[in-house]
Chain A
Amino acid sequence: MGITVSNISKSYGKVTALSAISFDVKPGELFGLIGPDGAGKTTLFRILTTLLIADKGQAAVAGYNVLNDYKSIRKSVGYMPGRFSLYQDLTVEENLNFFATIFGTTIEENYDLVKDIYVQIEPFKNRRAGKLSGGMKQKLALSCALIHKPKVLFLDEPTTGVDPVSRKEFWEMLKRLQKKGITILVSTPYMDEAALCDRIALIQDGKILEIDSPSAIVSHFPKPLYNINADNMYGLIESLTKYEHTYSIFPFGEFVHYTDKWDSMDKESLKAYLESQGLTDIHIEETQPTIEDTFMELAK
């Protein structure tokens, strides 16, 4: 009843968007597709929502084959495209009403499902959708995708361009929807959101790098990771790039995430090297890897 994807490939002319992708989403799972822009996430969503036909491979959504049973899938899934795709010249309420009607239902019938989300935009129900803020647009789009009580929900980058507070609220809503038994496939370029999924697939250049729970993925990080900072960030990165023991460096907020070529690294000699490069106020301490670190490591 979830989603099954096996060996799906798709290319646009000479550009390969997806190459032999396989994964399963269990019923009731909140599954994340994590990857940068152009990784092939939207293409995969469109194949699963029956909008595109894959060149090779099989896929099933809620037990229906995406090719032959496309009509059944269209009745039972909710889809929120990456681009805001509601009627901008219709009001909030008219949009929701319209989508309820074309799915043969009413707002009242499934109000409990969208209630948590809809109450937040209800004060603006007479405002045209085009005049809403980014976060409110996403809430409206989610309400519209949910109003017919879908079995599977597809959310393509629902939080792109949304402020941090709204992003947090949005994910809390997804968690609540999951408790109501809806299978959710969500994609995002934000690694910090990945930790909120049950399982995630890291995807890049049309290939899946790894599939696992966020904590397991983080534990796969192969080396000890260090936070390093100094008075001069630019000088720090430049010096570390030249350092002979450097395995990888990756700027992360106010720190640089550093791994060494050797498993037992010598903090003191690194510090001495950095001081010799004219840097001061140097701190080096071991830290926990994040999904972003894992992604960067896998994507190397």
Chain B
Amino acid sequence: MKRFVGFVRKEFYHIFRDKRSLFILFGMPIAQILLFGFAITNEINNVNIAILDQANDVTSKEIINKIASSKHFSIVDVIQQESSIESIFKKGKVKAVVQFENNFGNNLIKKKQANVQVLTDATDPNMASTISNYISSILKKYQQELNKNSTIDYQIIPQSRMVYNAELKSVYMFVPGVMTVILMLVSAMMTSISITREKEQGTMEILLVSPLKPFQVIIGKVFPYIFLSVINAIVIVLLSIFVFNVPVNGSLFLLGVESVLFIITSLALGILISTISATQQTAMMISLMGLMLPTILLSGFIFPISSMPLPLQVISNIIPAKWFIIIVKGIMLKGIGIGYIFKETAILVLMTLLFIGISVKKYKIRLE
């Protein structure tokens, strides 16, 4: 234990005396979260939606067919009552629900106007508004076709409603993303660099010729970063709450536990990287190219996964950040409990165990 404490103390000296790592550790989270306050528009493709058809008549069926034949949407569920809307959103299976009112077709003929409600999951605000615009335009087109052959002016009135993030704040979307990227960067890159630094400077040689066991070296190396990453996560959450007024609808405790889990996943990845790279530069390049880019581009942070081509959608599944972003969005914006994110949590746990297993197998007790 004394050895461990001595080792950890040494690691803290390294961190606090290296201005560069200090900047990455604490400057980056603040800078990134403030910078990423901007929206990015994107096109949508094959977005999963559900239909709630309370009219179930010829007209509503015709409109549903129009929506289904559009390349932008795929109808994955048909629900029967209004009460299922909330649970289907919480499961995260669909991004929008299109609801036809009772007697939709009759209303259109008799009252000359009928209502369609478009409910969107606005935790991703860009996507939500795009979806509702697309659906409105499908409805409008149908209405024009109807009016062409008739003297009566029929009106279909779409009513959009945002669920979870009614004010459409894009920052709500970015907070979970930035948090993920920061934790990934700090944990994986910094640990892999700090372990390879020992190799590069030759101190690993002395550490190996000492009674320290490999796992003691590794735990000693990662421990300070768990601690610092947790501080980072707290800073990010506080910034989001007090600077951007992002709500935390779910349990803060659950958010904390999940964050620690993701930090450990990233640290395990960092250790893995350090076992396969000999120099700090290699470790940094692997971390940046192999971790940062996929984390930013393929995790659903900036581009919605559902709009990606199929191969990329498949790849996105092996990116830990994807699952953590789902978890954070769920807890912060939807206020859901562990029951709804059990699968994502389990995937992260499995990934972590896998990374640690490979690292232990690959860790060298000698120089070659």
Binding site for B on A (CB under 8 A): 46, 49-53, 70-71, 74-75, 77, 79, 81, 83-90, 94, 97-99, 101-104, 144
Q: Sort A-B residue pairs by CB-CB distance and give the 5 closest, nearest first.
A: A101-B6, A85-B202, A51-B367, A79-B209, A89-B17
| Residues B270-299 near A (CB distance < 8 A) | none
CA distance A71 to B367 in the complex (A): 15
Q: Which residue on chain A has the smallest CB distance to residue B368? A: A52
The yes or no answer to B141 lying at the interface (CB within 8 A) is: no
- CB of A103 within 8 A of CB of B206, answer no
CA distance A49 to B206 in the complex (A): 10
Contacts of B209 in A (CB 8 A): 49-51, 74, 77, 79
| Residues B180-216 near A (CB distance < 8 A) | 201-203, 205-212
Contacts of A86 in B (CB 8 A): 203, 206
Contacts of B201 in A (CB 8 A): 85, 87-88
Could you say which of B7-15, B98-106, B169-177 contacts chain A?
A: B7-15
Contacts of B14 in A (CB 8 A): 87, 89-90
The secondary-structure label for the interface of chain B is helix
B200 CB to nearest A CB, Å:
11
| Residues B1-48 near A (CB distance < 8 A) | 2-3, 5-7, 9-10, 13-14, 17-18
- CB of A74 within 8 A of CB of B18, answer no
Interface centre among A94, A99, A102, A103 (most CB of B within 10 A): A102
Contacts of B205 in A (CB 8 A): 51, 79, 81, 85
17 more A-B residue pairs beyond the given contacts A101-B6, A102-B211, with a C-beta to C-beta distance below 8 A: A51-B209, A51-B366, A51-B367, A74-B208, A79-B206, A81-B205, A81-B206, A87-B13, A88-B201, A89-B13, A90-B13, A98-B6, A101-B5, A102-B6, A102-B207, A103-B211, A104-B3
- CB of A74 within 8 A of CB of B206, answer no
- CB of A46 within 8 A of CB of B367, answer yes
B233 CB to nearest A CB, Å:
27
- CB of A51 within 8 A of CB of B6, answer no
Q: Which residue on chain A has the smallest CB distance to residue B7? A: A102
CA distance A90 to B330 in the complex (A): 44
CA distance A85 to B3 in the complex (A): 19
A12 CB to nearest B CB, Å:
9
CA distance A50 to B367 in the complex (A): 9
Q: Which residue on chain A has the smallest CB distance to residue B364? A: A51
Contacts of A79 in B (CB 8 A): 205-206, 209
- CB of A52 within 8 A of CB of B367, answer yes
CA distance A88 to B203 in the complex (A): 10
Q: Which residue on chain A has the smallest CB distance to residue B366? A: A51
Q: Which residue on chain A has the smallest CB distance to residue B204? A: A85
Q: Which residue on chain B has the smallest CB distance to residue A141? A: B206
Contacts of A94 in B (CB 8 A): 10, 13
B296 CB to nearest A CB, Å:
31
